[in-house]
Amino acid sequence: MDGAAARGGYRGVPHTADLRVEAWAPTREECLGQAVRGVCASFLDVSGATVVRRREVDVRADRDEDVLVALLEEVVYRLDTEGEVPVDVELAPVDGGVRGVLWMADAGSLPVTGAAPKAVTLHDLAVTRGTDGWTCAVTLDV
């Protein structure tokens, strides 16, 4: 991996009628955060977003894959109920999951670039640790 890739990132992957995001980073928590960023950037231009509130999250599950699903379900829930999306993410490890902060922006104030996610699926869900760090992949219904 080159230096930029080693720090972390995400990419959208073409997927029929769904949204597929792959993310990578040196740590599990950074990888999960990159996945959140990738999902949000897939349907909104968050580059000029203004943070309007801070949301604390505490996500616990038995498996890393379930932590990713729960974290992204929180994103979909906040979009549906509050009309807001995270534009930055800070996560820290805790027993059985992660705890952190989602820095939220008003989704209605951001340019729409794609279809918003409606639900997280379990299809080809993966969170893995490798020699170069962590990777994760997730598919969402749009």
Domain range holding 95? 3-141
Threshold 0.85, pTM exceeds = yes
- CA distance readout (Å), 54 to 29, 96, 102: 18, 23, 6
Task: Point out which residues pair with 56 in neighbouring strands.
Answer: 101
For the chain, the domain total comes to 1
| Token pair in block for residue 34 | 């990159």
pLDDT, tens digit only, all 142 positions of the chain: 444 455 787 766 655 678 899 999 999 999 999 999 999 999 999 998 999 999 999 999 999 999 999 999 999 999 999 999 999 999 999 999 999 999 999 999 999 998 999 999 998 999 999 999 999 999 999 8
CATH of the domain at 21: 3.55.10.10
